[in-house]
Amino acid sequence: MPYPTDRKYTKEHEWITADGMIGITHHAQGSLGDIVFVELPKVGTEITIGKSFGTVESVKAVSDLYAPVSGTVTGVNEALATAPEQVNKDAHGAWMVKIKVKDPSEMNALLSAPDYDKFVSEEAAH
């Protein structure tokens, strides 16, 4: 799976675009399995780098969504409330929240697409 190069990635398997759209990776949706529920913050919520800002649930388990960087939520993908399976179908298209990034320099510490790809393959080898 080629990871889009228009965004950055975290080791917790989230992605974030330069304009602050956040979602989870194709690898993450695959390991979660059938996604049945996504719980997201309201517009205006402050989210903090490394902290949980929502949850995604598969049939089997609940997983936290971690903020790749700090910021303020300016938009929420409401379609996921009724169609959470979109995350399985198109993880890199199914954005979850859009944020106004507080400190753009925080983006620099995130993984590039090739680095994330490498990280995922190394994780799988364990």
Partner 1 sequence: MSVVEATPVVRKTVLNAVHRQMGAKMVEFNGWDMPVEYPASIGCGIVAEHMAVRTGVGIFDVSHMGDIRLAGREALAAVQHISMNDASRLAVGQAQYSALLYPQGTFVDDVIVHRLGEDEYLLVINAGTREKDFNWVRDNTRQFDCKVEHLSDDFTQIAIQGPKGVNVLQKLTDADLSAVKFYWVTRGTVCGLKNILMGRTGYTAEDGFEIYIPPDEETSARVWHEILAAGKEFGAVPCGLGARNTLRLEGKLPLYGHEISDTINVWEAGLDRFCKMEKPEFVGRAALEKAKAEGVKRTLVGLEMIDRGIARDGYKVLDEGGREIGYVTSGSPAPFLKKNIALAYVPPAQAAVGTMVKVDIRGQGVKAQVIPTPFYKRPKKAAKSE
CB-nearer residue toward partner 1: 33 or 93: 33
**Which amino acid is it at 58?**
S
Take residue 40 and report the two structure tokens written for it. 């997201």
Take residue 53 and report the two structure tokens written for it. 């800002």
Stretch that binds partner 1, among 9-17, 55-63, 66-74, 118-126 (CB under 8 A): 55-63
CB-nearer residue toward partner 1: 69 or 96: 96
- The CA distance from 90 to 23, in Å, is 10
Cβ contact 8:112 at 8 Å: yes
Check binding of 79 to partner 1 (CB under 8 A). Answer: no
**CA torsion, ordered 73, 78, 83, 84, to nearest 10 deg:** 20
Exactly one of 45, 70, 72, 88 binds partner 1 (CB under 8 A); that residue is 88
Take residue 98 and report the two structure tokens written for it. 């859009």
Exactly one of 55, 74, 112, 121 binds partner 1 (CB under 8 A); that residue is 55
The residues, ordered by sequence, that sit 6+ positions from 105 with a Cβ below 8 Å of its Cβ are none
Stretch that binds partner 1, among 34-42, 93-101, 107-115, 118-126 (CB under 8 A): 34-42
Check binding of 126 to partner 1 (CB under 8 A). Answer: no
Q: Which chain residues interact with partner 1 by CB under 8 A? A: 30-31, 33-34, 36-37, 55, 57-60, 62, 81, 88
